[in-house]
A and B are shown apart, each in its own frame.
Chain A
């Protein structure tokens, strides 16, 4: 059975998932950029795939992953270097989630508008 952790475990799981997500995007991004070596035709054909609505949602997901990973990265750094950080890790997690939500609302709107 899954261990029932609290805020700390959830923040770590999300950090891992978003980290892997961003890494997978980077691999795809390197591959699509390398395609320019085969000429502009191949490159443009593949890049056109990104116009697909699924990729549009994926781009919002990518932004979400980068945003969460960076905000929580700051939280982890504070926990590591501020001696009282361990006492406030839960509050800091809620601050991270609040800032994440505040950031996602306008960005999702702007990215999905077109």
Chain B
């Protein structure tokens, strides 16, 4: 079938503003948007710039706005979309070129919540045991692939780029709820700050956008309640 694409293009060296260009390619209805984009790049215009790596929904490289919603281009089938398929870069980041955005600030926020095990005690001889119930408490938030679909779907983030954002809170939640970790208080201090969890207005765009089906707002809510009811 014929697939019509309307892709936002921007080359900082030649363009003053981003603009849309239309392309038409042959693809199967069961192909993914990524396949169509790679056809455009391979056959029609080699200068089209986009990120992709594994192409199977695991690496989180090809997050972009497709028909107005953040999706991974490698996970959405053409038959499930209205044509022309409008493809834009994620909202709220500086565009480097075409569909590639500068994610440095995003990873800076990721690092700011200390996304690693913090333990003040010496490592035990064997493993640090954990019950299935304790593991269950942060199971959902271990699924994050840092694609930034949630953060760039969030109106609070668009209006305040300093907001730590849903992705970083999900990562913090993963360690705050981990019974083996002792850095919970440090992370709660970071998230209880001005640019932390209280910027969340429970808009749920992050939940709709997450390609890993993480209940992001629930995780943010758990952190909010922990902050609210923690002993001072």
Q: Which residues of A does B touch, CB under 8 Å?
A: 1-9, 12, 76, 79-81, 83, 85-87, 89
Contacts and interface: CB of A to CB of B under 8 A. Distances in A.
Contacts of A3: 65, 68-69, 91, 153, 155, 205
Interface stretch (B27-35, B45-53, B215-223): B215-223
A4 B67 contact: yes
Interface string B193-232: 0000000011111011000000101100110110000000
A21 B74 CA distance: 43
Nearest to A76: B202
**Chain A interface, >50% SS class:** helix
B217 A81 contact: no
Interface in B93-152: none
B86 interface: yes
Given A1-B86, A3-B69, A4-B68, A86 B215 contact: yes
B207 A86 contact: yes
Given A3-B68, A3-B91, A12-B201, A87 B218 contact: yes
Contacts of A9: 155, 203-205
Top 9 closest pairs, chain A to chain B, by CB: A8-B204, A4-B68, A86-B218, A12-B203, A86-B217, A5-B205, A8-B203, A79-B202, A4-B69
Nearest to B206: A8
A87 B215 CA distance: 8
Contact of A5 (B88, B202, B203, B218): B203
Given A12-B155, A80-B224, A83-B221, A2 B202 contact: no
8 contacts: A5-B204, A6-B204, A8-B202, A8-B207, A9-B205, A79-B217, A83-B218, A83-B221
Given A3-B153, A86-B221, A80 B204 contact: no
A95 B215 CA distance: 21
Nearest to B158: A3
Contacts of A79: 202, 217, 221
Contacts of B208: 5-6, 8
Nearest to B218: A86
Nearest to A79: B202
B208 to A, nearest CB: 6
B13 to A, nearest CB: 24
